[in-house]
Chains A and B, each alone.
Chain A
Amino acid sequence: MKKDRLISILFILPSIILIAIFVYFFIGWTSWVSLVNWKDIFPDFTFVGLRNYIRLFQNYRFTISLQNTVVFTALFLIASITIGLLLAILLDRKVRFESVFRTIYLFPMAVSFVVTGVVWRWILNPGPGGESVGINLLFEKIGLSFLKSGWYTDPNIGIKAVVIAAVWQMSGYVMAMYLAGIRGIPTELYEAAQLDGANTMQVYRYIVIPLLRPITLGAVIILGHISLKIFDLVFAMTGSGIGFSCDVPALFMYDTTFRGNYFSQGAAVAIMLLLFVAVLIVPYLIHSIRTEVRR
């Protein structure tokens, strides 16, 4: 038995060591890099304290990327959760060809963010010299010309155009989560409510949606952390945009570090990003492990 104990530890040890190095030690190393003066290809480990962070918040481009993250996250979460819940409720109404609809709504999840970016860059392209192409052309053809817009090339819209592509990709996922949740609710609950005279709307309003609260929380966590670190979609679709109007912290970090070689500055962005995600994730992880232990 003692020997088995030992082998079991040896089984899991490589993973623990790898995660210890590649997650925790690396995060520590990045934090250290963010406190030194490494700003070209040759490492320079002169300690400068919080200077890189102070510079960051004085940087106009970083400020824009933070604002964009807030806007992006808010719109992306609201749209994906609303659409996901709506589609799940509709599909639960004993729809014919349900599995066909489900397959169509969910397939964007199987596609890379880069492919999504490349395709939506075309669809949301306002076209050269005022000529209508892409979705603008479509709007023109079906008589909805007033919906035409400059999309991601318009600094006032910018990041909001990227939200459309992100919602296209992820709302089906939310639909799948909610549908699984709805199907997990015991039918007796519905029947009891109907016996009490509740109509369909009331059943959803007072029974289904409150019972789906853990799923909504899960969706907020998943979509939220994807949203905070969104990179590939923006990179492929628009880049940082006109006057950095589409910039996000992950893109800013990539440009600063791997294109500009300002390693310490890039590390400071990375640590800020990690803090944002940790604020969202850590309480959730602690909460879910605790509930599990109690079970």
Chain B
Amino acid sequence: MKPRRIVLYAVLVIFAIFYLMPIYVLFVTGLKSFQQVSLREMWNLPKSITFESFVRAWKGDPSRGLRGLSQNFMNSVYLVIPATLISAMLGSMNGYVLTKWKFKGANAVFAILLFGMFIPYQSILIPLVQLLQKIKLYGSIPGLIFVHCVYGIPITTLIFRNYYSTIPTDIVEASKIDGANFTKIYTKIILPVSMPAFAVVMIWQFTSIWNDFLFGLIVAPNPSVQPITVALNNLAGSYFVEWNIQMAGALITALPTLLVYIFLGRFFMRGLLAGSLAGT
């Protein structure tokens, strides 16, 4: 190998080590028992492997007032599944209208919707809490589902709109002449070819809703309805929790989205690029 190639691979490997370092810490620490956890040995491999930390992070330790993550994990599951499905459906409907039934000012409407993707959510939190309290959705999982569906509209609309604009409008026009109506064109022509876009949108929404922290923190102050990210932060923030449990908890929290990334990486990538390349 030429020296230049060696340098090239060396740089790539050094960066790979940098990106993998936190995962290494999570694994080796999570697999250690409490007796084995010491600050001087945090980079060493575990002497013996035990899943004790994971069990305790999952179930908690009521005698020491430690809440486990199991309930919060399930909260996140109950939250992320309906929110992902509903927001994907909304995005598909919007994308269909904005590309195939363009009305005057459709582009302006799209821009107005899209802006919602970039706003700092701090600028809507105060009225959001007030309104959710009024309509009795505050501090509940349905409340969180609702919030994620609303603020998911911009990105899901964007991805579906980009996708549907690649479907030739001629097909739609021809079916109109053949007498197909709005609903029929949607269910018989558009939806059947939408699966790739649904995959991208659902993976995107699954990941961002699972990883959300701010809405969970603000809308669900009650520990029994908190999503897992908020519970993890509380777990890690309490001083008496050993850090093997913290690391096990962090790994449990990260696991679903990591699995999605590993097994459905292709769609994950496309979602990422669709989200980033709004207009470029």
Q: Which residues of A contact B (CB under 8 A)?
A: 1, 3-5, 7-9, 11-12, 14-16, 18-19, 22-27, 29-30, 33, 83, 86-87, 90-91, 93, 95, 101, 103-123, 127-128, 131, 133-134, 137-138, 141, 168, 172-173, 176-177, 180, 214-215, 217-219, 222, 225, 228-229, 231-232, 235-236, 249-250, 253-254, 257-258, 263, 266-267, 269-271, 273-274, 277, 281-282, 284-289, 291-293
| Set B16, B98, B151: member contacting A104, Cβ < 8 A | B16
B-side contacts of A127, CB under 8 Å: 39
B118 touches A281 (CB 8 A): yes
Per-residue CB contact flags for chain B residues 119-154 toward chain A (1 = under 8 Å, else 0) read 111111111100000000000000000000011011
Chain B: minimal CB distance from A168 (Å)? 7
Q: How many chain B residues touch A (Cβ–Cβ < 8 Å)?
A: 91
| Set B43, B176, B232, B258: member contacting A110, Cβ < 8 A | B258
| Set A23, A87, A138: member contacting B116, Cβ < 8 A | A23
- A24-B153 Cα distance, complex, nearest whole Å: 14
A115 touches B19 (CB 8 A): no
B115 lies within 8 A of chain A by Cβ: yes
Closest to B230 in A: A114
Chain B: minimal CB distance from A180 (Å)? 6
8 contacts between A and B (CB under 8 A): A3-B181, A113-B213, A114-B233, A122-B25, A231-B213, A250-B120, A267-B126, A286-B111
- The secondary-structure label for the interface of chain A is helix
Chain A: minimal CB distance from B213 (Å)? 4
Closest to A282 in B: B115
- A141-B236 Cα distance, complex, nearest whole Å: 27
| Set B181, B243, B277: member contacting A4, Cβ < 8 A | B181
Q: A218-B276, A250-B120, A257-B125 are in contact. Are A16 and B236 (CB under 8 A)?
A: no
| Set B9, B98, B103, B250: member contacting A118, Cβ < 8 A | B250
B-side contacts of A281, CB under 8 Å: 115, 118
B214 touches A232 (CB 8 A): yes
Per-residue CB contact flags for chain B residues 226-246 toward chain A (1 = under 8 Å, else 0) read 000110110010000001001
- A127-B38 Cα distance, complex, nearest whole Å: 12
Stretch at the interface among B45-53, B64-72, B261-269: B261-269
B-side contacts of A257, CB under 8 Å: 125-126
| Set A26, A219, A291, A293: member contacting B123, Cβ < 8 A | A26
Closest to B120 in A: A229
A-side contacts of B113, CB under 8 Å: 15-16, 19
A111 touches B254 (CB 8 A): yes
B22 touches A112 (CB 8 A): no
B42 touches A168 (CB 8 A): no
| Set A219, A236, A269: member contacting B233, Cβ < 8 A | A236
A112 touches B211 (CB 8 A): yes
A19 touches B116 (CB 8 A): yes
Q: A19-B116, A218-B276, A218-B280 are in contact. Are A231 and B214 (CB under 8 A)?
A: yes
| Set B123, B128, B214: member contacting A273, Cβ < 8 A | B123
A-side contacts of B250, CB under 8 Å: 115, 118-119
B243 touches A122 (CB 8 A): yes
Q: Closest 3 A-B residue pairs measured CB to CB?
A: A288-B279, A112-B211, A110-B261
A104 touches B233 (CB 8 A): no
Chain A: minimal CB distance from B195 (Å)? 20
Closest to A288 in B: B279
Q: A101-B12, A168-B18 are in contact. Are A118 and B272 (CB under 8 A)?
A: no
Closest to B118 in A: A281
- A266-B265 Cα distance, complex, nearest whole Å: 39
Closest to A292 in B: B279
A-side contacts of B243, CB under 8 Å: 122
Chain A: minimal CB distance from B10 (Å)? 10
Chain B: minimal CB distance from A11 (Å)? 5
A168 touches B107 (CB 8 A): no
Chain B: minimal CB distance from A215 (Å)? 7
B78 lies within 8 A of chain A by Cβ: no
B120 touches A270 (CB 8 A): yes
- A184-B9 Cα distance, complex, nearest whole Å: 24
A4 touches B101 (CB 8 A): yes
Per-residue CB contact flags for chain B residues 78-96 toward chain A (1 = under 8 Å, else 0) read 0000000000001001101
- A23-B113 Cα distance, complex, nearest whole Å: 9
- A112-B247 Cα distance, complex, nearest whole Å: 14
A-side contacts of B21, CB under 8 Å: 123
| Set A168, A218, A282, A287: member contacting B277, Cβ < 8 A | A218
